[in-house]
C-alpha cells in the first residue's frame, strides 16, 4: 500500500486512455478484491433538513428552498425497524445520516448512541454520518459499537471554499483524524459535478490516497442536482468521468471499498457495469439515498443477477484478518 503518491503520478493515471485505465484498474481490483462481490449498504436519514451549513449541493441546508421536509431525530425503534428491513433485503451495512453541522453532547446524541447499539446487535456493520465530531464523541460512538463513520472531503482543498463556506477543509481532516484515533473505520470520498476541474478531482484523490492510512471506504458521488440548491442547474456528470474517478481511486487505494454512490438513477446497467469493471465494489441500495431517489430493490437484484455479482457478507475484513492471524 502506498500513501506517498505524487500529484504528477495521479495525473498520469487519471489521464490514461480510458480503456487502458479501466484495464489497469480491473487488474488491481482482481489482485486485491473479490471482483464478483459487491457490498450492499442502506442509508437512512434519521434527522432530515434544517441544516445550518451552506454546502451548495445539499437539499438539506436550511438556507435553500428545496422540497425537503424538516424532520426531527427519529425514535430508536423506528430506526431499528428500518435496519431489520434492510437486513432482510440483503444489506450488510446500515448508515444513519443526520443533517447536522456537528454532533453536540445532548440527548439527541445519546439517542443516536442507542441506535448504534441496536443496529450493531442486529449483526450489521453500523455507519453514521453526523457532521463534525470531537475525539471523545468518536470514542463514545466506537464504544456503542460503531463500525464506520462517513465524512467526505467532497472536492479539492482549493475548490472547497466555492462549495462550502461554513467550515474548512481542515475541520474535515480533523474529524477524520478523530474517527481514526477512536479505531473506527473511515468512509471518505467526494462528489463530482460541482463545477470543479479535472485538476481538483486529482487533488482530492491525492489527499485521500496520502492520508496516513487510506480510508476503508471511498464513496464516489455524482452530483444529484436538486431544485432550490445553488447547483440545481449544473450539467449532469458524464459517465466517463465517473469511470475515470472510480478507476483512479481503485489503483491508488487497492484495498479500499470504492462505492458507486449518488447518481445511479441517471446511469443505465451498461454504465454501472463499467463502474464495477473499473473497481467499484459497493453500492447504496433501497428506493432512497438520504432524500433523493435511488434504483429500486428489484432493479438492483436484476442487475446483480445479470452481471453475476453477489452481496459481500458483513464484517468480512475482520474475518479475513482473523484467518490470517490463526
Ligand atoms: N451532515 C453530514 C455531513 O455533511 O458530513 C452528513 C450528511 S451529508 C448529506 C453526506 C454527504 O452526502 C455529503 O458529504 C455529500 O458528499 C453527499 N451529498 C449530499 N448532497 C448530495 C447531492 N445532491 N448529490 C450527491 N451527493 C450529495
Ligand atoms: C455519501 O458519500 N453519499 C451518501 C452517503 N455518503 C451519506 C449520501 C448521498 C446523498 C445524496 C443526496 C440525498 O439523497 O440527499
Ligand atoms: Fe448539512 Fe451535511 Fe447537507 Fe452540508 S452536506 S448542508 S453539513 S446535511
Secondary structure class of 132 (helix, strand, coil): strand
Grid cell locating 254? 487497492
Of 93, 180, 259, 312, the active-site residue reads 259
| Predicted local distance difference test score (pLDDT) of residue 323 | 77
| Predicted local distance difference test score (pLDDT) of residue 95 | 97
* Residue that is written with C-alpha cell 470543479 in the block: 196
| Predicted local distance difference test score (pLDDT) of residue 268 | 96
Rounded to a whole number, what is the largest CA-CA distance in the chain? 56
Specify the fold of 7-325.
Answer: TIM Barrel (3.20.20)
Q: Which ligand is nearest to the CA of 153?
A: 1
pTM score of the predicted model: 0.96
**H/E stretch holding 323:** helix 316-325
| Predicted local distance difference test score (pLDDT) of residue 142 | 98
**Secondary structure of the chain: what % helix, strand, coil (to 5)?**
45, 15, 40
The low-confidence residues of the chain, meaning pLDDT below 70, are 326
| Predicted local distance difference test score (pLDDT) of residue 318 | 80
| Predicted local distance difference test score (pLDDT) of residue 319 | 79
What is the per-residue pLDDT across 84-97, written as a single tens digit (0 to 9) for each?
999 998 899 999 99
Q: Among this protein's residues, is 41 annotated catalytic? A: no
What is the per-residue pLDDT across 32-62, written as a single tens digit (0 to 9) for each?
998 989 999 999 999 999 999 999 999 999 9
Q: Measured in angstroms, how far is the CA atom of residue 289 from the centroid of ligand 1?
A: 10
Q: Which ligand is nearest to the CA of 191?
A: 1
Residue 258 contacts residue 250 (beta carbons within 8 Å): yes
Name the packing angle between helices 18-32 and 269-277 (round to 10°): 60
| Predicted local distance difference test score (pLDDT) of residue 312 | 87
Amino acid at each position: 500500500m502506498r500513501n506517498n503518491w505524487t500529484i504528477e503520478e495521479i495525473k498520469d493515471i487519471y489521464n490514461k486512455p480510458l480503456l487502458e485505465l479501466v484495464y489497469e484498474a480491473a487488474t488491481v481490483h482482481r489482485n486485491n478484491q473479490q471482483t464478483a462481490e459487491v457490498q450492499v449498504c442502506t442509508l437512512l436519514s434519521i434527522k432530515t433538513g434544517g441544516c445550518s451549513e451552506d454546502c451548495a449541493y445539499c437539499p438539506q441546508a436550511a438556507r435553500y428552498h428545496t422540497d425537503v421536509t424538516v424532520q426531527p431525530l427519529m425514535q430508536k425503534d423506528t430506526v431499528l425497524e428500518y435496519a431489520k428491513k434492510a437486513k432482510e433485503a440483503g444489506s450488510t451495512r446500515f448508515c444513519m445520516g443526520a443533517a447536522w453541522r456537528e454532533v453536540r453532547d445532548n440527548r439527541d446524541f445519546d439517542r443516536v448512541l442507542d441506535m448504534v447499539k441496536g443496529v450493531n446487535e442486529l449483526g450489521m456493520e453500523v455507519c453514521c454520518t453526523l457532521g463534525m465530531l470531537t475525539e471523545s464523541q468518536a470514542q463514545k460512538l466506537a464504544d456503542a459499537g460503531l463500525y464506520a463513520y462517513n465524512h467526505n472531503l467532497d472536492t479539492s482543498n482549493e475548490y472547497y471554499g466555492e462549495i462550502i463556506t461554513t467550515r474548512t477543509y481542515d475541520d474535515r481532516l480533523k474529524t477524520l483524524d478523530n474517527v481514526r484515533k477512536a479505531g473506527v473505520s473511515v468512509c471518505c470520498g467526494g462528489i463530482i459535478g460541482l463545477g470543479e476541474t479535472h485538476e481538483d478531482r486529482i487533488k482530492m484523490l491525492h489527499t485521500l490516497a496520502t492520508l496516513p492510512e487510506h480510508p476503508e471506504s471511498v464513496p464516489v458521488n455524482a452530483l444529484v442536482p436538486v431544485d432550490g440548491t445553488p447547483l440545481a442547474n449544473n450539467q449532469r456528470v458524464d459517465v466517463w468521468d465517473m469511470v475515470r474517478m472510480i478507476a483512479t481511486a481503485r489503483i491508488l487505494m487497492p484495498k479500499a471499498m470504492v462505492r458507486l454512490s449518488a447518481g445511479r438513477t441517471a446511469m443505465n446497467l451498461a454504465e454501472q457495469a463499467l463502474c464495477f469493471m473499473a473497481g467499484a465494489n459497493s453500492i447504496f441500495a433501497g428506493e432512497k439515498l438520504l432524500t433523493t431517489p435511488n434504483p429500486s430493490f428489484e432493479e438492483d437484484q436484476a442487475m446483480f443477477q445479470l452481471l453475476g455479482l453477489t452481496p459481500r457478507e458483513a464484517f468480512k475484513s475482520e474475518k479475513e484478518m482473523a484467518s490470517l492471524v490463526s
